[in-house]
A and B are shown apart, each in its own frame.
Chain A
Amino acid sequence: MSAAPDRRPVPHRTGAQPALVAGAGREPGPGPVLSADSGAFCVHSGNPQLSPRSVCHMRSPSPAAWIRRALSTRRRALAAAAAVVVVLLAAGVAGTLRPAEPDLRTEAALITVRSGPSGDEPVELDTTLYLPPAAAADAPVPAVLLAHGFGGTKESVRADAEEFAGRGYAVLTWTARGFGRSGGQIHLDHPDYEVRDAQRLLDWLAARPEVVTDATGDPRVGVVGGSYGGALALLLAAQDQRVDAIVPMITWNDLARSFLPEQSGEGPEQGVFKKGWAGLFFGSGGNPGPAPLGGSGPPGGLAPGGGSVPGGSLPENAATTAGAVDPSCGRFAADVCAAYLRIATTGRADPDAVALLRRSSPAGKLDRVEAPTLLVQGAADTLFSLTEADANAREIAATGTPVQVAWFTGGHDGGDGPKTDSDRVLHLTVRWLDHYVKGEGAAPADDFTFSRIAGFDALDRGLVATGFRATGYPGVDGTGQQPVSVSGPAQSIANPPAGNPAAISSVPFAGELSSLLDGVAGDIPGQHARFESAPLPAAVDVVGAPTVSIRAASPTGTAVLFVKLYDVAADGSATLPNGLVAPIRLEGLPAAVEDAEPVTVTLPAIVRRVEAGHRVRVVVATSDQAYATPVEPAVYSVALASGAVTLPTVASEPIPTDAVVWRWVLAGLLATIAVGLVVVVAVLRRRHRRRESRVHPAYAGVPLAVRELRKEYADGFVAVSNVDFEVHPGQVVGLLGPNGAGKTTTLRVLMGLTQPTAGEVYVFGHRLVPGAPVLSRIGALVEGPGFLPHLSGLDNLTAYWRATGRPWADAHFDEALEIAGLGTSVHRKVRTYSHGMRQRLAIAQAMLGLPELLVLDEPTDGLDPPQIAEMRRVLRRYATGGRAVLVSSHLLAEVEQTCTHAVVVTKGQIVASGPVEEIVGESPSVLLEVTDPVAARAVLDRLAGVSVLPDGDGQLVVDTNGTARSEVVAELVRAGIGVDRVVPRRRLEDAFLALVGENSRGSGDR
C-alpha cells in the first residue's frame, strides 16, 4: 500500500519526438543529402547551415522556362496551383518536424543527501536539472521541484520538466528513494526520509547560481507532483516554509482512509481493504522485477505525479543498491512492508498500521502549509477520490492559505483525461506557478473548476470534457441538494464465501474507457439489492457526493456492503459513474431489517449529468472484486431507510472555450461573405450599367464597327492586328481570308468570347465587351455548331431561346426552322445529325429572334451545292430591311457570290476591303485559248482598244477594255481562228493569290 504507481507511457507530447529530430540535426550527417529545390538537384553537405556551399547542378539555365515549355498553356495554371500546394505542404511538414523546443540544458547527477530521523543517513538520489536557455548566474530563474509518481523515476516526468523549463523555470527532477537508480528504501513519503530528501534538494537548488533565492539558502521554488509526488509536495510544504507554491495532483489526504475506506463515517480501523489497488502498488514497489502494470497511466498531460516507465531501472539497481532483497518486501522499508503484510492478510488494519499510514499522510499536518496550493484531483479515480482533495483543501484553507481546487475527468483510472482537460490542467498549473513563484500574471480567479465528460470527439475518437467554474469552493456537498425518491422492497442478499464470485465495479488501470463506459460494471444476481427512482423529469447535474440512508440486518451482526449509484438510461442500460463504490462495514446489526437503525452512506463524489428520462438506481451489493470482504458466507437483508437519495449540485457556469469563439467566427464569416457578395454585385452592376449606356455617336446606326483591333495571345502570338472595318445596314459583308488568317479570332472578339488586346468593337455605337447586352442584337455561328447532343434539334433551339430569357413570340421559330430545312429530323437527337444538318441548325439558331446583325463563320461548311445556293439567297434576303450580315469564308467564290462587300485578311491584317464588285468583280480582261495564238494576236492587235497581255502556252490574256467579249470572239472566228475556251478574268484574283495563295497555310489557328 503506497501511493500511485504511475506508469505513464513514454511521454508522447512535446518532448520525445522533437528532441530526436533535434539530435539528428545537430550532428552532421554522414553523407551528402539530396534535396530538390527550384527544379534543380542540389547536393548539400550534411549540415544544413552549410547550404551556401552546396553544389547545385542546374539542368537548364532556367528550369521555369523548361517547365513552361513542357506544359501547354492551359495546364500551366493548374500545374502552378498544384506546385503551390506541394510547396505549402512541404513547408508545413518541415515546420512541424523542426525542433520547436529551445535548447534546454540538462544536468544529470547523483546527489548524496543526508536524511533519516537524525539527518545523518546518506542516500544517493538520481537527479536531472533542466535549465532554460536564459538561465545564468547573472539572470537566475525560479525553480520547480518536480516529483514523480509511485513506481516511476525522474524519466517519468521528463516531458513535464521540459514543458516547465520551456516556460522559464529551472526544473529539478529526481528519482525518489527506493526507486530506479536512487538508493535507500521506500518509506512512503515519510517526513524523515522522502520529505527530508526533498528538503536537502531545496538546499541544493538554493546553492545553484542559476536559481533565484528569496534569502540565503531559500530558493524561489514551486513543488509540483502527482499521486506519490503530490503527497510529497503537501508534506514538504508543511515541513519546510521555503516552498513558495505547490500543485499536488491526484493524491491523498489520509492514506489509511484511501486504502481502508468506510463510507458510513467510521475510521480506517473499520475500513474495507482496497486490496486491488494495494496489491498493485505493493507489487510495483516491492518487486525487483519489472512493474506488473501495463496500460494507460495516471494523470495528466501534466502528469506531474508523473508517470513512471514500467519496469524502469529497477532490475539493475535492485541488484546494486538493495543487495540481498527480502523477497516478500522488495525495496520497501521493513515497517512499511510489515504493515502491508498484516493488512493484506486480515483485510483489517490494526492501530499500528493506521498510525504508520497516517504518518505518511498530509492529514493533520496541513495547518503548517503556507504555500498557496492548487489541488488537482481526478474524477475517474477509484484510488484517491475527490474527497481526498476536499479534505486537503479544507485543512489548508483553515489557516487562510490561498487554495484552489480543480477536478478533471482523468485520474488513476482515467489517465490524462481528454486533451481539452489535460490542457486545462496544464493551463491552471502554469498560471498558478507564474503568479505565486515567478510573480507574473494576475492572481488566479475561479476557486473551483471542474469538468464533465460531454461525449465523444468524432475526429479523435476520444472523449470530450466540458469545463465549468464556480466562485467559492463548495466541497463535495455541493451548493444545493436535490432529493430524488427511490423505492424498492427490503431484499435479502448473499455474501459469497471468500468473496467469490464478486461484482466488478472497476479494474485498476484497465484504461480510461472501462470505467466510463458501462462495459465493466456487473453485479452478481442474488448478491445485490436494487432501489430505483422514477424517470427524472429534468436532467440533474450531479457535482459532489450523493448520500443515501439505508438499513441493514445480518444474522452475524456484521456486514460489509458496497453501495453504488447507477445512472439508468431509458433503454435499461445502467452506468456506474467512474466505477466508484462506497464500501461500508456495519456492526451490531439486528437479525431483522425492521429493527435496524438507519445508516447514512456518503457515496463517492462524482461529476455527472443524469439526463431527463433516466432513472437513478441505488444498488447495495455484498461483494466487490476490488475489496477484501468477509470470508464466511452470510445472508443480509437491506432496505431503504429514507425514500430519497440526495444529489448535490453546484451553481456553476461553463468555462468559455475557444468553441464559443469559433461560433462567432462562423457567424462573422457568413456575415462577411454576405456583405461582400452584396457589395461586389452592386459595384459590378453599377459599373456595367454606366459602361453599357454609353453610345459612340459616330457609330450609333452602324451594326458593326471594328476599330484597330489587335489580339495577342498569352504566348505572344499576334492573331490579328490593326483590323478595321464596318458593316452597314443592308450589307452582306464577307470576311475573306485563308485558314488561319485571323477571321475566327476577329469573330470571337465580336461575340465577346475573348478580350481584345487593343482596339474597340462597336455595335450600334455601344462598345462591345464580353457579356455586353448589345450582343443580344447579334446572332452568331462561330467555330461550328454547339448543341446539347442528348436533345433534339427543336429542343436545342427552344433551350437556347429559353436561355435568352426573351419572349417566345420574338423568336420566330417557324422562319428559323424553315431555314434549317431539317424536316422531321428536327425531332431527332442532335448526336445523330450529320455535319451539314448541325450546320443548318446552327444557322437557324443564329437567326432566332431575327437579330439585326448576323455573324456567320464559314456558314456553307458541310452544305451541299443546292443548300449553298439556297443559303446565299437567304443571306441576301436577310440583309434587306436594315439588317446586316457578316460572313467569314476562305473561299473567294463564296464571298463573291454571297456578299455585297468584302474584307480580305491574311496573316491577321486587312489587305483589301470594299464592295465586292470592286474587289472580286469581273475584270475587263479575258483569257482565251485559241488554235493559233500567233494569228489571233495579230487579229486582236487590230481591234481598237484591245490589247494582249504577255502570256504563253497557247493562251492569250486579253484586256478587252470595254469591247464586248462576244465581239472579240466573233472577230477571231471570222479570221478563221478556232476558239477553244473563253474565261473571264477577275480583277483581284492575281493580287489575292499573290497575297494569300502562295502561303495559304497562314501561321496557325487564328
Chain B
Amino acid sequence: MMAQTTVEPNAGDSGGTPSGAAAGYRPFATLPFRAEFRRQASRRRTQLALGFMVLLPLIILIAFQFDSGDDDNGRGEFGSLVEFATSGGLNFTLFALFVSASFLLVVVVALFCGDTVASEASWGSLRYLLAVPVPRARLLAVKLLVALTYSALALLLLAGTALLLGTLRYGWGPLRSTVAAELEPGEGLLRLLAVLGYLAVVLLVVAGLAVLLSVSTDAALGAVGGAVLLWILSSILDQITALGVLRAFLPTHYSTAWLGLLSTPIQTDDVVRGAISAISYATLFWGLAFWRFTRKDVVS
C-alpha cells in the first residue's frame, strides 16, 4: 500500500518536541515518585500494614504484662533474646525484630512489592499509565522504589515504635545477650541499626521475587502469596541438612546471619555472604522483572 519512504529526523514535526510528544510531556517526568507514593498511600492495605507495624510492639508489650514468671521461652544461644526482651528498650526492639523477621516482615515486603504492578493490572489502570505514556522501565522503577520505600518505612516504624515503647516501659539500658558482653546503649543502638540494615538487605530477595511475580500476573494475591510461598519453601529446604553446600545457595540461608551482629566482637562473615546472596538474587529477579515487563503484551 505504502511505498517505502525515507525517514528523516525532525522533519515536519508538529509536536513541538523532537520526539513528537505533547507540550509539557517529558518521559522522565512521568509518574513522579511523589505521585506514586500518594497513589499507594491512599490505599487501605498500605495504611493497614503500616498501622500494624505500629501496633505490633504494643501488642507484644501488653502480652509481656501477662508474664506468669514461667520463663521457658526457648533455648539455645539466642533464646536469650527472649529472656532479655524486657531488660530495656533496645532488647525489646531486638525481640520485636526477632519475632517479625522470619515471617511478618516477609509478608509485608511481599505485599508492598508484589501488589504494586499486579493491582494496577487488575484494576485496568495499568494500561492508562502505559498510554500516558509512562515508559515501562520508568513505571517499574518508580513503583519498585516506592514499594521499597514503604518496606523500609514499615521496618523503621516497627523498630522505632518498639524502641519508643520499650524505652518508655523498660527504660534505656545496655543491649544484653549471652553471646556478647553487655553493649553500651550507644553501641547497642548502632548494632540495632546494623541489624535493621542487614534485614533490609535480606528482604530485597523477597522484594525481587514479589516484583517478578507482580509483572507476571494480574492477580495481586498471586504475586504476594507466591513470593511468600517461595520464601517459605526456601526456608524449609534450608532445614534439610542433606542438601549440604547447596543450602548456601538458598536465598533464605543467611537470613538469620544478623544475629552475628550482636556478638562481641561483631561477626560479619555471614552477613557479608548473606548480603552478596541477597543482592545477587534481588538483581537477578529485578533484571528478569524489567526484561519481562518491558516486553510483555499488556492485555488486562
Contact = CB atoms under 8 A, between A and B. Distances in A.
A795 B273 CA distance: 46
Interface string A76-105: 011000000000010011001100000000
Interface string A664-707: 01100110010000000000100011001111111011000001
A3 interface: no
A713 B246 CA distance: 39
B17 A751 contact: no
Nearest to A809: B24
Contact of A707 (B2, B134, B217, B294): B2
Contact of B246 (A92, A697, A810): A92
B298 A455 contact: no
A771 B133 contact: yes
Interface string A834-846: 0000000000010
Contacts of B297: 713, 748, 753-755
B126 A786 contact: yes
SS class, residues of chain B in contact with chain A:
loop
Interface in A491-521: 517
A804 B5 contact: no
B125 A787 contact: yes
Contacts of A771: 27, 130, 133-136
Interface in A734-757: 748, 751-755
Contacts of A777: 15, 20-22
Contacts of A799: 35, 38-39
A790 B44 contact: yes
A901 to B, nearest CB: 17
A517 B180 CA distance: 11
B243 A788 contact: no
Interface residues of A, number: 92
B75 to A, nearest CB: 11
Contact of A693 (B9, B258, B270): B9
B261 to A, nearest CB: 8
Nearest to A668: B276
Given A773-B21, A805-B32, A662 B123 contact: no
Contacts of A461: 76-78
Contacts of B174: 571
B235 interface: no
Nearest to B134: A803
A754 B11 CA distance: 27
B56 to A, nearest CB: 23
A57 interface: no
B25 interface: yes
A89 B247 CA distance: 10
Given A571-B182, A689-B19, A786 B125 contact: yes
Interface in A569-607: 569-571
A851 B21 CA distance: 11
Interface stretch (A158-166, A760-768, A947-955): A760-768
A570 B124 CA distance: 62
Interface in B207-252: 213, 216-217, 237, 242-246
B269 A701 contact: no
Contacts of A696: 5, 7
A810 B5 contact: no
B24 A806 contact: yes
**Most central of A96, A670, A804 by chain B CB within 10 Å:** A804
B123 A774 contact: no
Interface in A786-802: 786-791, 795, 799-800, 802
B256 A459 contact: yes
A684 B259 CA distance: 42
B267 A457 contact: yes
B5 A456 contact: no
B21 A662 contact: no
Nearest to A769: B133
Nearest to A700: B12
A693 B19 contact: yes
B97 to A, nearest CB: 14
A474 interface: no
Interface in B1-42: 1-2, 5-15, 17-27, 29-32, 35-36, 38-39, 42
B132 A804 contact: yes
A13 to B, nearest CB: 12
A447 interface: no
A456 B261 CA distance: 10
- Residue from A696, A713, A776, A784 with most neighbouring chain B CB atoms (10 Å): A776
A724 B1 CA distance: 8
A689 B17 CA distance: 11
A456 B131 contact: no
A122 B226 CA distance: 72
B255 to A, nearest CB: 9
Which of A753, A755, A778 is packed against the most chain B CB atoms within 10 Å?
Answer: A753
Contacts of A784: 124
A692 B24 contact: no
Nearest to B234: A85
Given A695-B9, A790-B42, A805-B29, A774 B272 contact: no
A695 B26 CA distance: 18
B128 A97 contact: no
A712 to B, nearest CB: 11
B270 A804 contact: no
A601 to B, nearest CB: 27
B137 interface: yes
A53 interface: no
B171 interface: no
Nearest to B124: A786
Nearest to B21: A773
B254 to A, nearest CB: 7
A611 interface: yes
A793 to B, nearest CB: 13
B7 A695 contact: yes
B180 A455 contact: yes
A791 B253 CA distance: 41
A806 B279 CA distance: 35
A700 B13 contact: yes
A59 interface: no
Contacts of B260: 455-459
B179 interface: yes
Contacts of B62: none
7 contacts: A77-B216, A461-B77, A771-B134, A773-B19, A787-B124, A788-B43, A799-B39
Given A459-B254, A751-B131, A755-B297, 9 more contacts: A92-B243, A571-B182, A609-B265, A692-B18, A693-B9, A693-B18, A752-B130, A770-B133, A775-B131
Interface of B: 1-2, 5-15, 17-27, 29-32, 35-36, 38-39, 42-44, 76-78, 123-137, 174, 176, 178-182, 213, 216-217, 237, 242-246, 253-254, 256-260, 263-270, 272-273, 275-276, 279-280, 283, 294-295, 297-299
Interface of A: 74, 77-78, 89, 92-93, 96-97, 454-459, 461, 464, 517, 569-571, 609, 611, 614, 657, 659, 662-663, 665-666, 669-670, 673, 684, 688-689, 692-698, 700-701, 707-708, 713, 724, 748, 751-755, 763-766, 770-778, 780, 782-791, 795, 799-800, 802-807, 810, 845, 849, 851-852
